[in-house]
Amino acid sequence: MGDPIYIKLATGSTILLLVILQFGWDAYQQFVDGAKQLVLNRRISLQLEMRNNELDELNRQLSVTATHDSLTDLYNRHFIVAQLKQQLDLFRRHGNPCSIVLMDIDRFKQVNDQFGHASGDEVLVVFSKRTESQIRLGDTFGRYGGEEFLLILPMTELPSALSLAERIRGYLASTPLLEHPRPLTITASFGVAQIKANESIDSWLIRSR
């Protein structure tokens, strides 16, 4: 009479154990799957972050390329003209003064003819860096074309612009720009003009020449 009861209890216990084991196994599998998914999500997140960083860097490089001169690393003509338009608009709206300084390296063709275009490029680069070191925060300096450079001086009237131009001119002429193949001092012609009423960008630039 007792044996069947023990058998039933043993069977029931075995079934219960199997159920518990199955439940534990399912829970373990869910944990493993969740951990795998977490790792996968993290990996995807890192990949997306890296891709976004790469895109941000690419956009930055494209922005620099679109607004900067490839040789001197100064602002290019397109950007300079856009800044002139902005200053003209500010003058028309609020009367904000603005002056420009147009710089033209003297006898630059002779540098290329005598020393080669590599030396000519070096002159442009050194000229750019030296001039840039003398300008103020908030001023905009760029390569307007060839050996011409343009400095935009917001909120600056003519006397102050003339003073700055003379300081830059003297600084450039005081020390040779190149030392090889022989010391070469470069001078530049400077034209300065303050924006006037009822004036276009072209007429403003013409007055600075």
Residues carrying an active site annotation? 147
The helix (H) or strand (E) run that includes residue 183 is none
Report the Cα 81 to chain-centroid distance in Å. Answer: 18
Which residues neighbour 106 within 8 Å (Cβ) at sequence distance 6 or greater? 186, 187, 188, 189
Residues in the chain: 209
Q: Is the dihedral of CA 52, 55, 61, 65 positive or negative?
A: negative
How many CB atoms are located within 10 Å of the residue 198 CB? 6
Report the Cα 107 to chain-centroid distance in Å. Answer: 32
d(CA 1, CA 86): 105
The helix (H) or strand (E) run that includes residue 142 is strand 140-145
d(CA 118, CA 126): 12
Question: Would you say 106 and 112 are in contact if contact means Cβ atoms under 8 Å apart?
Answer: no
Amino acid occupying residue 113: D
